[in-house]
Amino acid sequence: MEIIDGKFVSEQIKNELKWKVNKLKECSIIPKLVIITLENNAATELYIRNKKRLFNELGICIEQKIVDVSIEMNGLLKIIEDLNKDNTVDGILIQSPVPDRFNINELFEKISFYKDVDGFNPINVGRISLEMNGYVPCTALGIMQLLKYYNISVKGKHAVVVGRSNIVGKPIARMLLQEDATVTICHSKTVNLKTYTKTADILIVAVGKEKLIQADMIKDNVIVIDVGINFTKEGKIVGDVDFENVKKKCSYITKVPGGVGPMTVVMLAKNTIDSANKRRLGV
């Protein structure tokens, strides 16, 4: 069994990104991301803290726009419009969750797709589905990079994705399909989850339920990618997989923390730097 070390891989990618940031700085360009936040919880606070830490380390500008939860749609749209027009802003991100009265997809649609570094604008979603250039959502991109780093080919393998959110489950399923995996997507209405997970060569779990995946739900030598982030009663961060028992049957497995998380953040930095290069230098 080998641990897929997202922290290590993200460090290697960080070095490449530092080089790109320096090149931009030679042209007096500092990439900039703006994160719009409305509601916070322990998970979003963790995501934002990690993003700030990495962006500061890379010398990329990151700004958090904390918006009062009572804001109306028009007010929020005006903020997005202004950021779309601001040439110093390369990436705009709306941190979920947002209050129920907002349709988050409508908000994503208002972000210029040139600045949609999270890859959730319908234009980017469509372009990626059609295998055209566009921003791939960061977690899916990070997982594909991890697999590539460990020389794990997905071609012809049965990949089972547990979770079908627009943020993680669907984008990773699309990427795996594009790389010629045979993909099964499971969700909360899937009857007898174990029937599907047992047949996986690659199992990707993005649910948000501690110990959802137990050792008796997988076959030997499976590759397990645990996307979940859960907080135990003691405040410890764990994934969706019963790591200690599952790892014994795996050929590869990610840890939580230190697996997919660091890759997601580094991919956000990559997309922001790419946006700065495309928008401001046309490369």
Active site residue 64: no
Nearest distance in Å: CB 59, ligand NDP:
22
- Tell me if 4 contacts ligand NDP by CB under 6 A: no
- Residues 65-84, one symbol each (x = binds ligand NDP by CB under 6 A, - = not), give --------------------
- Tell me if 165 contacts ligand NDP by CB under 6 A: yes
Q: Active site residue: 20, 32, 51, 270, which one?
A: 51
For ligand NDP, the closer of residues 91 and 228 by Cβ is: 228
Query: Among the candidate windows 12-20, 122-130, 225-233, 275-283, which touches ligand NDP by CB under 6 A?
Result: 225-233
For ligand NDP, the closer of residues 34 and 162 by Cβ is: 162
77, amino acid identity: L
- Tell me if 104 contacts ligand NDP by CB under 6 A: no
* Dist. CA 258–CA 5, nearest whole Å: 7
Active site residue 236: no
- Tell me if 260 contacts ligand NDP by CB under 6 A: yes
Residue 198 Cα distances to 44, 162, 164, 188, 255, angstroms:
32, 12, 18, 17, 20
For ligand NDP, the closer of residues 178 and 230 by Cβ is: 230
Per-residue DSSP letters for the chain? -EEE-HHHHHHHHHHHHHHHHHHHHHTT---EEEEEES---HHHHHHHHHHHHHHHHHT-EEEEEE--TT--HHHHHHHHHHHHH-TT--EEEEESP--TTS-HHHHHHHS-TTS-TTS-SHHHHHHHHTT-S-PPPHHHHHHHHHHHHTT---TT-EEEEE---TTTHHHHHHHHHHTT-EEEEE-TT-S-HHHHHTT-SEEEE-S--TT-B-GGGS-TTEEEEE---EE-TTS-EE-SB-HHHHGGGEEEEE-SSSSHHHHHHHHHHHHHHHHHIIIII--
Contact 249, 218 (CB under 8 A): yes
Cis peptide leading into 137, omega within 30 of 0?
Answer: no
- Contacting residue, 178, 182, 184, 190, with ligand NDP by CB under 6 A: 190
For ligand NDP, the closer of residues 119 and 169 by Cβ is: 169
- Tell me if 137 contacts ligand NDP by CB under 6 A: no
* Dist. CA 278–CA 274, nearest whole Å: 6
Nearest distance in Å: CB 229, ligand NDP:
4
Query: Among the candidate windows 111-119, 120-128, 147-155, 187-195, which touches ligand NDP by CB under 6 A?
Result: 187-195
Q: Active site residue: 14, 110, 116, 118, which one?
A: 118
Active site residue 51: yes
- Tell me if 152 contacts ligand NDP by CB under 6 A: no
Q: Active site residue: 95, 110, 170, 226, which one?
A: 95
Query: Among the candidate windows 85-93, 124-132, 185-193, 268-276, which touches ligand NDP by CB under 6 A?
Result: 185-193
Structure tokens at 85: 């027009």
- Contacting residue, 36, 98, 186, 268, with ligand NDP by CB under 6 A: 186
Nearest distance in Å: CB 25, ligand NDP:
28
Query: What are the residue numbers of the active site?
Result: 51, 95, 118
Residues in contact with ligand NDP by the rule CB under 6 A: 43, 139, 162-165, 167-169, 186-190, 193, 206-209, 227-230, 260-261, 264
